Amino acid sequence: MSAEKKPQKMSVTRLQAMKQAGEKIACLTAYDASFAKILDQAGVDLVLVGDSLGMVIQGHETTLPVTMDETVYHAQAVRRGLSQALLVVDLPFMSYVDPMTALHNAGRLLKESGAQMVKLEGGASQVQTLQLLARNGIPVCAHLGLQPQAVHKLGGYRLQGKDDQSAAILLKDAVLLAEAGADLLILECVPELLASEITANVDIPVIGIGAGVGCDGQILVLYDLLGLSHNAPRFSKNFLLGHDSIQAAIAAYVAAVKASSFPAPEQVLA
């Protein structure tokens, strides 16, 4: 009898192949080794150490207080719990104010924490930063729509791209970021039709959070998925309800993403 074949480790090129094949990508946040291992064993494709740790772990009202040292610490812990999933780590607020600063801090995350990709927020203004990171072999996940690090400028956590003008800017920015070298794009709190249009117009995988089922994959904050957040967003779902363990809840989430049954209509923002 042949030995059981081990799952193939996730990579940037595999994510691209999944988009091309129409295979949905299941993503979640994690902040420590124990949860990271559970996510990995449940078949989560991509794990994000998000600056959401500032809110769900540290108790801040926003993500802004999170530092580079704190991000490195949590990413190191998550890295130890993963064997298959791709590790993406947020560049925290003010850690990529110009291309050279971004290069330094992105390099820290790859060298010190074992991250395989970094994530940054912003549209056309990030093109030069993306180009520099790409030239230096650093994979990047871009982030459009609701940008938590710009919450004060946006006036709160609100749906983005609701009118024709802002929708056109989001679509243009997505194309610019992909052309500049982004390997992945997260769309947060964007109308479902707009998210589907952006997904169809860029060659890189698009991961939605509050952006409907038409994206190439989905991501949630782990604590929202488990019903642990005090103010979970409407686009989220408590997968622990109806399941007898955290492992079963996460497996149910992965299955729902893969089957395109999450997000359901009740999780779509309007």
Q: How many CB atoms lie within 10 A of CB 188?
A: 23
The tokens describing 87, both together, are 């590790």
SS3 84: coil
Catalytic: which of 4, 188, 197, 266? 188
SS3 217: strand
Q: Which of 74, 261, 263, 132 is nearest to 187 (CA)?
A: 263
Q: Which of 218, 217, 216, 225 is nearest to 247 (CA)?
A: 225
Residue 206 forms beta bridges with which residues?
Answer: 185
SS3 141: strand
70 is catalytic: no
Catalytic residues: 188
